[in-house]
Amino acid sequence: MFQIIDKKDLAPSIKQFVVDAPLVAQKARPGQFIILRIKEGGERIPLTIADYDTQKGTITIVFQEVGKTTKELGTLKAGDYLADFVGPLGKAVEFSNHKKVLGIGGGLGVAPLYPKLKMLHENGAEVISIIGAKTADMLIMEEEIKAVSDKTYVCTDDGSKGRHGFVTVVLKELLEQGEKFDEIIIIGPPILMKIGTEIAKPYNIPIMVSLNPIMIDGTGMCGGCRVTVGGETKFVCVDGPAFDGSKVDFDELMKRLQTYTSEEKLALDKYHS
C-alpha cells in the first residue's frame, strides 16, 4: 500500500498527489511514469512523474478528473492509500550538454514538462518556457516552471492571463525572430504536439514530445500503447514516452485515442448514477 502524503487542487478538476513510494523515488528520472491502481482489481492509470524527491522517498503525480477512475482517484485524501504504485516505467530522457532549451507545456502537459526543465536548469542550461491553458484558472505549476526557467511566457486560449492565444503562437514568433535552441520540448494534447512540431520542423532543431496513448499493462506485452514513429511500430511504455516529434504519426495516435470513448462514457455514467 502506498500512502498519499499530500493533496493539492491545482485547478478545477486537476489534482496533485505526493505519494510515499521510496523504491520508485530512488530510481525515478525525468520522462518516466508510474501506473497506479486505487484498489485491487481496479483500472490501471498511467501517470507521468511530475516530480520526485529521492531523500524523502516521494513521487509527485498530477492528474485530471476526466473518466470514472480519475474521478474516483480525486476523492482520495491525504492519508489515504493506493493499492498499487508501479514504477518508474519507460525510458528516462537524456540531454547532452544542452546550452539553451525551449520547453512548451499545454494543459496537463505542464506537469511532465517540469522535471525535464528542472534537470536542464540544474545542469546549467538556459531554459525558456511557454506554458498555457484554456483559462487562467486551468493553468498549473506556473511558479514551479518559472523557478526553473530564465524566461517564461504564459498563454491562455481566452486571454484571461498572459498572452491571448495558443502556446504555438509564441513558439512561431520566437523561431521567426531567429532564436536558436539545442532542443524544443513540446508536451500537451496530441494536436498541440502535432502543430508545434509542424511549426518547428523547418528550423532543424531536435523536437522532443512525450506521448500519452492508451496504456494497459505498461510493460510492452499488450500492444495497447503502440504508435508509429519513423515508419516503425513502437510501444510508448517501453520505447518512450519521449520521442522525436518530427517522426511521430500524430494522426494515428489521435485516432487510436478515440477507440474507447463510448466505453469510457458508459463507465462514467455508471459511476455517477
Q: Show binding-site residues for FAD.
A: 62-64
Q: Are 100 and 120 in contact (CB under 8 A)?
A: no
Residues of each annotated binding site? 62-64, 222, 225, 237
Helix axes 190-200, 167-176, angle to 10 degrees: 10
Q: Are 17 and 66 in contact (CB under 8 A)?
A: no
Examine residue 89 and tell whether it contacts ligand FES (CB under 6 A): no
Examine residue 223 and tell whether it contacts ligand FES (CB under 6 A): yes
**Considering only residues 42, 160, 220, 247, which one is a binding residue for ligand FES as defined by CB under 6 A?**
220
Stretch that binds ligand FES, among 9-17, 161-169, 185-193, 209-217 (CB under 6 A): 209-217
Q: Are 197 and 250 in contact (CB under 8 A)?
A: yes
Q: Are 101 and 205 in contact (CB under 8 A)?
A: no
Examine residue 206 and tell whether it contacts ligand FES (CB under 6 A): no
Examine residue 124 and tell whether it contacts ligand FES (CB under 6 A): no
Minimum CB–partner distance for residue 10 and ligand FES (Å): 26
Return the residues of window 228-247 that contact ligand FES according to CB under 6 A.
235, 237
SS (H, E, C) 73-140: HHCCCCCCEECEEEEEECCCCCCCCCCEEEEEEEHHHHHHHHHHHHHHHHCCCEEEEEEEECCHHHCC
Minimum CB–partner distance for residue 4 and ligand FES (Å): 24
Minimum CB–partner distance for residue 213 and ligand FES (Å): 8
Minimum CB–partner distance for residue 117 and ligand FES (Å): 26
Residues of each annotated binding site for [2Fe-2S] cluster? 222, 225, 237
Number of C-beta neighbours around residue 248 at 10 A: 23
- Three-state secondary structure call for residue 240: coil
Helix (H) or strand (E) holding 5: strand 2-11
**Considering only residues 86, 92, 224, 267, which one is a binding residue for ligand FES as defined by CB under 6 A?**
224
Cell triple for residue 260? 474507447
Examine residue 35 and tell whether it contacts ligand FES (CB under 6 A): no
**Considering only residues 87, 103, 105, 218, which one is a binding residue for ligand FES as defined by CB under 6 A?**
218
Binding site for ligand FES (CB under 6 A): 215-218, 220-225, 235, 237
